[in-house]
């Protein structure tokens, strides 16, 4: 008889995971541990003997990875993986996976929702109407998306769905993505530009990038000054892609005409931050991925790769 393979799920709240309980405990010689976590030491203690470590918001640092004695898989409930030390995992020969597909439609729809909220000022109008103010005039006027240029920085799965929706609204869509073949992008009816060209041509810009040393603060003061006056910035990817202080400067100067942000550099963002004072900025609490359907899909997507590893197969969503 071989050793029992422990699957540890690090949970923020300690809630139940019925899909995992149903699917993973069917596999031979498995034990499922669902637990809250604290500091690095607590994560080390909880995961030391784990065969699989699954998590969402924990930081899986080099110290954590070096303490793992039996681990074959580290898997994140989500797309981003900047909270995992990939090099440390590679050195240890531990597979690392994310869950890139579960919320593609949800994030794409939320991106378009933010774009429409900024262009039509729906949040501001809703707030005013509830104060019995039925006035049409706004400090920040509404505008049509039809015949505007939408620039997508990154053209992965989410951006492709955004492009299809934006084109249905009559927008022209352009993109910058140095990692994809332009002929592939062209199949979507999207023009490939340099980053500078995209800044110059786009009325609206949406970010669809992972966070890395190369992309952190990619939208900074210099980039914002390259853009059209009145540009709208949408970010449903990672908060660290935008230098928020520089964005506030550009909003104050009128260089940026509005923004829709589902992600911020620190979450929760302190309530005294000046970004909150701008009525042409729509903020949501990192929920672009969230829907009844996406929650179920996320749990199944993670289970799919855990099951593959338990059966000695290669996981589909391996990133390291």
- Report, as residue numbers or ranges, the catalytic residues: 238, 267, 286
CA distance 215 to 44: 30
């Amino acid at each position: 008889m071989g050793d029992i393979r422990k699957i540890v799920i690090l949970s923020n709240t300690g809630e139940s995971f019925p899909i995992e309980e149903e699917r993973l405990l069917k596999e031979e010689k498995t034990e499922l541990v669902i637990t809250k976590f604290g500091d690095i030491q607590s994560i080390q203690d909880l995961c030391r003997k784990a065969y699989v470590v699954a998590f969402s918001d924990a930081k899986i640092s080099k110290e954590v990875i070096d303490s793992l004695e039996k681990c074959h898989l580290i898997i994140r409930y989500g797309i981003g993986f900047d909270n995992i030390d990939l090099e440390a995992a590679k050195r240890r020969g531990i597979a690392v996976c994310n869950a890139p597909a579960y919320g593609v439609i949800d994030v794409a729809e939320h991106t378009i929702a933010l774009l429409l909220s900024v262009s039509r000022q729906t949040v501001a109008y809703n707030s005013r109407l509830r104060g019995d103010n039925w006035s049409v005039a706004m400090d920040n006027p509404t505008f049509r998306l039809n015949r505007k240029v939408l620039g997508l920085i990154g053209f992965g799965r989410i951006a492709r769905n955004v492009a299809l929706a934006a084109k249905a609204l009559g927008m022209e869509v352009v993109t910058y993505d140095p990692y994809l073949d332009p002929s592939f992008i062209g199949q979507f009816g999207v023009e490939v530009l340099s980053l500078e060209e995209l800044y110059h041509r786009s009325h609206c810009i949406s970010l669809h990038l992972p966070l890395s040393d190369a992309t952190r603060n990619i939208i900074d003061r210099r980039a914002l000054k390259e853009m059209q006056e009145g540009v709208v910035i949408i970010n449903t990817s990672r908060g660290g892609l935008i230098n928020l202080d520089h964005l506030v400067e550009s909003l104050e100067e009128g260089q940026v005409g509005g923004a829709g942000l589902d992600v911020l550099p620190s979450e929760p963002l302190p309530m005294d931050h000046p970004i909150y004072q701008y009525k042409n900025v729509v903020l949501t609490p990192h929920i672009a991925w969230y829907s009844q359907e996406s929650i179920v899909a996320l749990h199944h997507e993670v289970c799919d790769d855990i099951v593959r590893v338990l059966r000695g197969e290669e996981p589909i969503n391996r990133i390291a």
